[in-house]
Structures are given as structure tokens and as C-alpha cells.
Amino acid sequence: MSAEPELTGGVAAAPVHPPGKVRLPRLRWWLAVFLFGSAVLNYVDRQALSLLAPTIQQELGFGEQAYANIVNLFLVAYTLAYLGSGAIVDRFGARWSLALFVVWWSTANILTALARSAASLGVFRFMLGLGEAGNWLAAPKIVARWFPAHERGVAIGLYTLGATIGATIAPILVLQLAGRWGWQGAFVVTGALGLAWVVPWLWIAREPDRNPLVPAGQKQALDEALARDAAAAGHGGEVWTWGDALSRPEVWRLLLARLLTDPVWYFYQFWFAKYLFADRAVTQKGLAITWLIFLAADIGTLAGGIISGRMVRRGAAPAAARLRAMLVTACVVPLSVVVPWADSVPLVLALSAAVVLAHMSWLTNLGAMVVDIVPERSLGRVFGIVAAGSSVGGIIMNTVVAAMVSGPAAAAPAGFLDRAIHAVFGSVLQLVQGQGYASWFLVMAFLHPLAWLLLRFGPARKPIK
């Protein structure tokens, strides 16, 4: 028999189980492992395009602006899915919703192998974005349902670690698969892995009161711990409607914080490999070295949750603990300004690793802060609203960076997305056009400090401090 520690940190008596039945005493951590796995798959699938871009662009015959438009289609779909998927998660629960999302994006990834032009590639990446966003709305719902406040930072750090592990192994896995079966085979194999994940997930992720894997007494202890946390947060069983969420200044502050800072992470996902290829003369095969950047992200993801979790255990209010940890990381990200002046690729990698480590620690705590202040029954839709800021920021970054590295356009914008972006950001794009990657590394230096000031001192119905 296994003793399940009390969710407040003590040790409970070992529960007595009926003979012959399987029990998992720490089922919530098994769920976190599965969320870790879905995040790994999520990031392997999205990173595949940027890693194989030189080959795909040459074979399908499109340039940097078309590549930016394809990435933007993914991010537009991601934004729309953030807004819609949260309602799906709140309505149907995280278990079935996450299974649906994984099946959808895995299928879209497999279909990418059928692309024969920039247009068809954009369609399949749009489909991928519609599915992938839901992973990041179902996961916090699971954490809110299964983990007390002092464990949430670590749980969120663990599944966010899956994203960075996925990004870490993607350069090695995807390029090896492409070397053996071509770029099309890389998309098929990585997509098939997601379909295989779904079956065990549906078995293990049933609600506590209907889950035969939950030991006797654990559900009651969990419910009591969550009730205490909800009472301390001041929202109990409250439900926020769309109108309630959109009328709360703290929600808008969190949204803007993600809009400002997530472009750093999107840049390292979608453009850093291209920067090394174009400006640092790293070959496509040599881009496998980018796994070091994402290893640093792994460390930052876990460190952020552990540090703020210890503060909570020592009596700090959860949201205040996250904010203190984020102040430290906001002071590290400005190292990005030094990257373009580094005189060697190893130094570029070292500085970028520090920036990414700090950003992922920031992101873990920002996600935990949302879970801390939002009622569990409304978490899907509110997290979707906040996370929509992330993909909007990514679209803006993607458009600006494409202009910086492409130089003056040779032709008028083509396609509805390209025209719409230029209609909104035309004057900004003309200002930065042809400035190169160095300008973007400078911009990144200011984003996290600005976002921290917004979170700490901006107006709010419920202060974040």
C-alpha cells in the first residue's frame, strides 16, 4: 500500500484499497506526465517547418515573405482557436477536448506531407494552428482541477517543459527523419506519434470521482485543498462569463503581458534557425545545434515553477510569488541586445540560451498567475482570451522580422493576409525594412521589463502584487 501525502504538505495514513484493483497514489503527477507528452508532440510538429524550411522553400519555390505568410496563417488560426477552444474545454472537459485537439493537429501535420505549393502548405499549417492552441487551454484546466496552489507552478512548469523538450529534440528528430524519408516522411511520422498518444490519455484522465485509478481518500483531500485555495483567492465556485472576463482589467493586463513577451519565444521557434543559417553561415545540417537553446528553455521552465512554488510554501500569496520571480527574469532578457555583436556562434548560442531560459521561467509563472486568479470553472475561456495575446504578438513579430530581413518589397503585397497586414502595419514596416536581425534583438531587450511594469502597476479590479 502507498501513502498519499496530504496536499498541504503533511503525510496522511495509507488508504485501504479493495484487493485486485489498480491504484495510482500520485495520479495527478501521472496526468502531468501525459500533459508533458502532449506538449512535446505539439512542439515537434510546429518546429518541423522552420527546421525544414530551406529544403521546402527550394522544392516548392517560395521566398521569405511567403514563408512569413505561412507562419502567420498558423498564428491566425492559433489566435482564433484560443478564443474558441476555451469554450470547448469549459463545456466538454479537458479530457475529451485535449484528445480532440491532439487528433486534429496530428492529422494536419500528416497532411502537410501532401503540400505542393506555398498555398497548400499554408492551408495545412492553418489547420495545425486550429488544433495546437487547444493543448494550452486544456492543460491549465487539468492543473486547476488536480493540483493545489503550491504545486501548480511545478505542474505548469512540467508540461511547459514538454514544449521546450519538444523544441530541443525536434532539430535532431525531424532532420534525421527527413534525411531518411524526405521532408514529407518527417511530417507523417511525427504526426502519427500524436495519434498513438490519445488512447492511453483517455484511459487515465477521467474525472476523480469516476476514475478507478484514484486511491480512496485522495479525492476528498484534493477537493478540500482546492476549496481552501479558491477561498483564499476570493472566487470560490464563481463563474465568469465572456462579458465578466473582458471587463476585468487584470485579464487585459495578462493578455498584454503575453502579447509583449511571447514574441521572444516565437522568434526563437520560427526565425532563430534561419538567423543562424543566413547571418552566421550555419548549414542546415548544423542547425541541429539549436537543441542547446531549447535545453536552456527546459531549465528555465522548471526553475520558474520551483522558485515561485517555494515562495508560496513559505506563505507568500501565489500571484505575488509569481510576480517576484518574473522580476528577476525580466532583468535577464535584455541580454538579447548583445547577440548580433557576438563574435562567434558559441557566444551567440550562450547569450541566446540565457535569454530563452529567462523567458521560459517568465512564461511558466505568467501561466500559473492566470490559474491563481481565475475561477476553475471559467479557466478555459479566460486562458484563451489571455493566450490570444500571445499569437497576436507572434503575428506582429513575424511580420516585422520578415520586413527587417527581406529589404524593400519587389512587388505589391499579394494575398489577403499580406495585404491586411500591410494595411495595418505598413508605415512601421517601411521604417524597419532592410534593417536586419540586429534591430529585432534590440527590440526584444525592452519587452519583458515593460510587461512587468504593466502587471505590477497597471489598473486592476483585483491588484496583482
What CATH number has the domain bearing residue 326?
1.20.1250.20
Within a domain: residue 3? Answer: no
Extract the C-alpha cell encoding 128. 495545425
Across the strands, what pairs with 5? Answer: 11
- Are 273 and 51 in contact by the 8 Å Cβ rule? The answer is yes
- Are 232 and 61 in contact by the 8 Å Cβ rule? The answer is no
CB atoms within 10 A of CB 107: 17
Cα 376 to Cα 81: distance, rounded to the nearest angstrom: 20
Within a domain: residue 164? Answer: yes
Query: Whole-prediction pTM value?
Result: 0.71
Cα 63 to Cα 119: distance, rounded to the nearest angstrom: 12
Residue whose C-alpha is closest to residue 139's, from 43, 220, 7, 75: 43
Sign of the dihedral through C-alpha 270, 274, 279, 281:
positive
CB atoms within 10 A of CB 232: 12
Cα 41 to Cα 102: distance, rounded to the nearest angstrom: 9
pLDDT in tens, the chain (465 residues): 344 444 544 434 334 444 434 444 577 788 889 999 999 999 899 888 888 888 898 888 888 778 878 888 888 898 888 878 888 888 888 889 999 999 999 999 999 999 999 899 999 999 999 999 889 888 888 887 777 777 777 888 788 888 878 877 888 898 889 888 989 999 999 999 999 999 999 888 776 666 666 665 566 555 555 556 555 555 555 777 778 888 888 899 999 999 999 999 989 988 898 899 888 888 877 887 888 888 898 889 888 888 888 888 888 888 888 999 999 999 999 999 999 999 999 999 999 999 999 999 999 899 888 888 887 777 778 888 888 888 788 888 888 888 888 765 544 455 555 666 667 777 777 777 778 899 999 999 999 999 999 998 876 555 555
Within a domain: residue 304? Answer: yes
Across the strands, what pairs with 11? Answer: 5
Cα 87 to Cα 106: distance, rounded to the nearest angstrom: 21
Q: How many domains in the chain?
A: 1
CA 429 to chain centre: 27
Q: Is 273 exposed, middle or buried (0-12, 13-18, 19+ CB in 10 A)?
A: buried
Within a domain: residue 11? Answer: no
| 108: containing domain | 27-457
Within a domain: residue 17? Answer: no
Within a domain: residue 410? Answer: yes
Within a domain: residue 77? Answer: yes
Within a domain: residue 242? Answer: yes
